[in-house]
Structure 1
Amino acid sequence: MTDSPAARLQQLFEGHRLTPTQRRIAHSMVRRAADVPFLSSVELAEVAGVSQPSVTRFAVALGFDGYPALRKHLREVVPPGSVPVEDALNEYQQAVRAEIDNLRHLCDLLADPAPVLRAGALLAASRPLPVLGLRAAAAQARGFAYFAGKVHPDVRLLDEGGTLLADRIDDARRAGATALLCFALPRHPREVVAALAYAQDAGLTVVTVADSAFAPVAGHSDLLLPAAVGTGLSFDTACAPMLLGRVLLEAMCDDIPEAQARLEEFDAKAAARGLFVE
């Protein structure tokens, strides 16, 4: 049930950028939802396997003056005896449920397909098409570039930072690029923000898939498509951004007249080479 005490605890943590240690505390609290409102900061630290000052910093990170204020709030959110056994989901179930909620939210956003259709047209028209993603977002960029390369004649993956990043943006612009696609996920590298600013100054239209419309990259994105990440585990989960990337691919294919022919050509060559195990 989405209104279970464990779920309400999870909602308390949503929207906050927590460190791995703070997430560990949050996980422990969800697992002990029934009795955590009555634990001292020292006891919670022992349960989570962290230091007592870490618990205090965790409370402040959530917007409370300290742990006593957080505990007072918890007693209002999770009253005694309010956690039925069937609602006490473990941390893995909570993470999956949170991702399902993220996908539902993405589904609601896609009720208006106009932003995705506009993005698809921009990306399809850019020859070449640079695709940027660093650190946590590198896998999303790489996956998009892999599939996009089957239908787009010139996709250039930018998944490594450093001083050459600006050079590669310049190279793409000189070759005729008109747009750049960026995947930006937390924690957001300063280098990505700087790269997007540089791309805009170079005359590229920046399309960004980010975890929030208020992400640090928003100020340097001409078109931002939000898809929330899951924060229920020690490391973010990115099911919604990945799916949004595939939706964006579909929209891009619709604006490339030769897309279907390219896919059929690839399939024929793959079969001739015995590329895949049937």
Structure 2
Amino acid sequence: MNDGGVRAGERVLDLFAGARLTPTQRRIAHCLVEHAGKVAYLSAAEVADLAGVSQPSVTRFAIALGYEGYPALRRVLRELTDGSDGERGREHNAMQGAIAAEADNLGRLCQQLERLEDVRRGAGLLVASRPLTVLGLRSAAPLAGYFGYFASKVHPDVRVLDTGGTSLLDRLDQARAAGADAMLALVLPRYPRESLEAVREARSMGYAVVAITDSAVSPVAEHADVVLPAAVGTRLVFDLHTGPMAMAMVVLQAMCDADPEPVQRRLERFEATATRRQIFQA
């Protein structure tokens, strides 16, 4: 997909932000994003053939998004994909364009956060879990560690699972036996199989799963109780994770807001300990 196709796909992806989609509907959504440049001019039957689903599934998908049918959705798709970004593209070099696209991602995330119901629901599940389990493998491992570092200042028992292997499920078992009933799963492209398997296993153990991922049609969405999408940057050789990192810190703030008095006591104890041990440069 060229730069114009990527931008069109990003605009189409916004249609699905916060939507609860079935696996078949996620398949259709993925098709619309991947083929954003042409699907706005295809019939429902042609989209169904492209996505490998039935024509009624395409109609039900449009209705699930709040449209009367696929023709109404197609009109919106045309509005989203007909716009030209050529002038903007000429203003920036490739590196500036990547950062500008990331700023656009953050702008969409800001708009998404006008509704905080899912964030607050996820935060409530996480702050009440003792211990709190945080999963992030491969590219998501640094983000899991980042979240875990700060979460440990306000939560008494945070367990970061940032390495895979045969012991991963053992550690999930151990946390569950210790009382954990919620897990934050950070699952980013290219969606490691091991992460998805761990999330499925966690659900079977009785965990509630709060997922931070790149879109509402991510493979992990099917297995999560709460999905918090935040787009990743795709203009450079390797993805930029500014959006997911911001979302992780938003979730942590919501956790603090959900249980303020114990959080404040823990923060005060940490500051007193840090001062006594001279941890930070004055």
What TM-score, normalized by structure 1, do the two folds share? 0.72
Aligned to 1:119: 122
Indicate which of 80, 91, 94 corresponds to 1:88.
91
Superposed displacement of residue 11, structure 1: 1.6
CA contact (8 A) 2:8 2:37 kept: no
Aligned to 1:197: 200
Aligned to 2:264: 260
Indicate which of 114, 134, 137 corresponds to 1:134.
137
Aligned to 2:70: none
CA contact (8 A) 2:187 2:212 kept: yes
Indicate which of 158, 163, 178 corresponds to 1:160.
163
Q: Aligned ranges for residues 178-217 of structure 1 at < 5 Å?
A: 178-217=181-220
Q: Deviations over 1:93-132 (max 9, x none)?
A: 1111111111111111110111111111100100000000
Which consecutive residues of structure 2, in runs of 5 or more, have no partner in the other structure? 13-33, 39-81
The one-letter code sitting in structure 1 at the alignment partner of 2:219 is P
Aligned to 1:35: none
Q: How many residues align?
A: 216
Superposed displacement of residue 264, structure 1: 1.2
Q: Structure 1's 155 and 77: CA in aligned 2 closer, same or farther, altered over 3 A?
A: closer
State the distance in 1 between where 2:83 and 2:208 align: 45
CA contact (8 A) 1:7 1:94 kept: no
Deviating 4+ runs (over 3 angstroms): 6-10, 12-16, 61-65
- Greater radius of gyration (CA): 1
The one-letter code sitting in structure 1 at the alignment partner of 2:239 is D
Matched, 1:110 2:113: yes
Aligned to 2:177: 174
Aligned to 1:269: 273
SS in structure 2 at match of 1:259: helix
Relative to its length, the structure with more helix (as a share) is: 2
Matched, 1:231 2:208: no
SS in structure 2 at match of 1:166: helix
Matched, 1:11 2:14: no
The one-letter code sitting in structure 1 at the alignment partner of 2:116 is P
State the distance in 2 between where 1:113 and 1:129 align: 21
Superposed displacement of residue 253, structure 1: 1.1
The one-letter code sitting in structure 1 at the alignment partner of 2:238 is F
CA contact (8 A) 1:9 1:77 kept: no
Superposed displacement of residue 273, structure 1: 1.2
C-alpha RMSD over aligned residues: 2.7
Superposed displacement of residue 63, structure 1: 8.3
Superposed displacement of residue 88, structure 1: 3.2
Aligned to 1:58: none
What TM-score, normalized by structure 2, do the two folds share? 0.71
State the distance in 2 between where 1:186 and 1:136 align: 8
SS in structure 2 at match of 1:180: strand
Superposed displacement of residue 13, structure 1: 6.7
Q: Structure 1's 273 and 198: CA in aligned 2 closer, same or farther, altered over 3 A?
A: same
SS in structure 1 at match of 2:186: strand
